[in-house]
Copies of this chain bind each other. A is one copy, B any other.
Amino acid sequence: MAGIPNVITDVERIFSKFPGIGRKSARRIAFYLLDKKREDILEIAKAIVDLKDKIEHCTICNHITEQSPCDICANSKRDDSVICIVEDSLDVIALEKSVSYRGKYHVLGGLISPLDGVGPDDLAINSLLSRLDPVKEIIFAINPSVEGDTTSFYLTRLLKDKPIKITRLARGIPIGGDLEYTDEATLARAIEGRIEIPNE
């Protein structure tokens, strides 16, 4: 378009693909960046590249970390006998904010979804099975959805013959809601009120 340099439309195109950002906001951001000092821009660019370069997945729980094992796995004060299974690292962060859980986590890295071509082999399930030795309880903290229920069902079957109690978060989480956006108080209550899944 006349009057708009290509480097600006490039940045607009990139930002308008970001979650929650539309075309108008992307333009606002491009002009916001244009007003910044060069060193600020270099800092922003570096932070984005660092994000990619410095983050790895914990070899134990698959949570994102700057150094494996992650802080939570490396913390000997946390209870090794309970593992809370979540879809992704955002859920770990949300649960940690509720300050009501002192066990460990396991991040699946997704949910079983045949429609999206995601099967059990695409999730961190083998690494879960290899760390069950001290575990007495597994808590499913998985969003209530078709994919979440399918994944819970699959894992329950897989753990059927182990001497492990399987629980899920109490139904304090609204159906159709997103765990990551649930408030701290509700998450804390959901952890306290977790109920056992009969596994016969």
Contact = CB atoms under 8 A, between A and B. Distances in A.
A135 to B, nearest CB: 20
Give the oligomeric copy count. 2
Interface in A123-148: none
Contact of A41 (B18, B51, B70, B89): B51
B65 A5 contact: yes
A64 interface: yes
A44 B48 contact: yes
Question: Range of interface residues on chain A?
Answer: 35 or more
Contacts of A31: 88-90
B72 A24 contact: no
A47 B3 contact: no
Residue from the set A48, A72, A96 with the largest chain B CB neighbour count within 10 Å: A48
A38 interface: yes
Given A7-B55, A18-B32, A41-B51, 18 more contacts: A1-B93, A1-B96, A1-B97, A2-B71, A3-B71, A5-B54, A5-B65, A7-B47, A8-B55, A19-B32, A20-B29, A21-B21, A21-B29, A24-B181, A27-B93, A41-B49, A45-B45, A45-B49
Interface of A: 1-8, 10-11, 14, 18-21, 24-25, 27-34, 36, 38, 41-55, 63-66, 70-72, 88-90, 92-93, 96-97, 181
Q: Which 6 residue pairs across A and B have the least CB separation, nearest first?
A: A45-B45, A3-B96, A20-B25, A5-B66, A41-B52, A19-B28
25 contacts: A1-B93, A1-B96, A3-B72, A3-B89, A5-B55, A5-B65, A7-B55, A8-B51, A8-B55, A8-B64, A10-B47, A10-B50, A14-B44, A21-B21, A21-B29, A27-B93, A30-B51, A31-B89, A31-B90, A34-B64, A41-B51, A44-B48, A45-B45, A45-B48, A45-B49
